[in-house]
Amino acid sequence: MKKVFLPVPVAAILLVMVSFVAAPAQEPFYKGKTLRIVVATSAGGGYDTYTRTIARHLSKHIPGNPNILVENMAGAGHRIGANHVYKVAKPDGLTLGHFQGSLFLAQALGEKGIEFDTLKYEFIGAPVRDTRACAVTKASGITNMEAWFASKTPVKLGGIGLGATEEIPRMLKVALGLPIQIISGYKGTAEIRLAAESGEVAGGCWTWDSIKATWSGAIKSGDAVVVLQILGKPHPELPHVPLAITYAKSEETRQLIQVGIQDPSEYSRPYVAPPGTPKDRVQLLRRAFQETMKDPELLADAAKSKLEIEPVPAEELEKTVAGLFKLSPSLVTKLREIFTVQ
């Protein structure tokens, strides 16, 4: 029988074709699975609203189109949810966590209740750089900063724990001398808003996005007023609202405000995966997150909910957060003193 010898390139091509037919195509890992996003606060607030909006669009950017389940796990100033993602959730790429990024600073300062190592989380990204602000009801009598400084009694502000809304009023109280009484124990900003409307507290300090998304009616009617913002420069939608740092009376005070409550706006809304999540799945989720942030349908959906989208890449989050663990001992000591003031 006469042997036929094929040219090497042709033989190689045939070998690849046979292998391709013989081996079934590998199905995406996420096909038929459910990706769970743990939100460390109650339903109805900004963190929950952002997550549910993102969840409606994320799946189509993940190969395999998994189901997306949002689970609220409120308590202890976002610590319960953050600790759960770090300690309990399986590092298989099927769980993400979303909580107040100020908990990273809380860990750097040695605060209690932190059962995670910030630098071991797998950062996925953040949807926005937060604009932090303080809003109070008109009924409280505090309609501007002059009235706040002049108040004869402490202005009651709701909080859900240090590292989750309370770090702002604590810093303002000590660094600027504002009369403030923090009423802690709320599960989320939605509850603070309701408490303000009932007269239980005057208001609170959290993010402008959350305030305008969940308290828009009162803001438009004038029943609630944004009296202060914590940024390096005014937000376009708050051009006449003063900046906290302009009230600083010394360079030390300016530095404290910047590191303690202004810079955290960069990493305030992180999405993370548990430590040990396979690197290929981490990279896949990072790409899917960034693609979702550019999705026209997501942007339209966010606009309806009055949510800003100004994404922060995972790599930038990692770099900024790592800097918290390089602060000078003297600054850490001062920040710790402020954030332990009752």
Where are the alpha helices (H) located in 135-230, listed in sequence order? 145-150, 167-175, 189-198, 208-214, 216-221
CA–CA distances in Å: residue 172 to residues 41, 89, 242, 257, 307:
24, 36, 13, 8, 26
In the chain, what are the domain boundaries? 34-129+267-330, 132-264
289-299: average pLDDT: 98
Write down the mean pLDDT value for the chain.
89
42-48: average pLDDT: 89
Amino acid making up residue 208 = W
Lookup result for tokens 């802690």: 184
Q: Which tokens belong to 82?
A: 């953050």
163 pLDDT higher than 60: no
Q: Is the pTM of this model over 0.85?
A: no
| pLDDT of amino acid 5 | 47
Region class of 3: left (phi > 0), else alpha (psi between -120 and 50), else beta: beta
**Strands of 132-137's sheet in order across:** 180-183, 155-158, 203-207, 132-137, 224-230
The two domains 34-129+267-330 and 132-264 share their CATH topology (first three levels equal): yes
* Separation CA 130–CA 205 (nearest Å): 12
111 pLDDT higher than 80: yes
**At the top level of CATH, which class does the domain 132-264 belong to?**
alpha beta
283 pLDDT higher than 70: yes
- CATH number at 34-129+267-330: 3.40.190.150
216 pLDDT higher than 70: yes
33-47: average pLDDT: 94
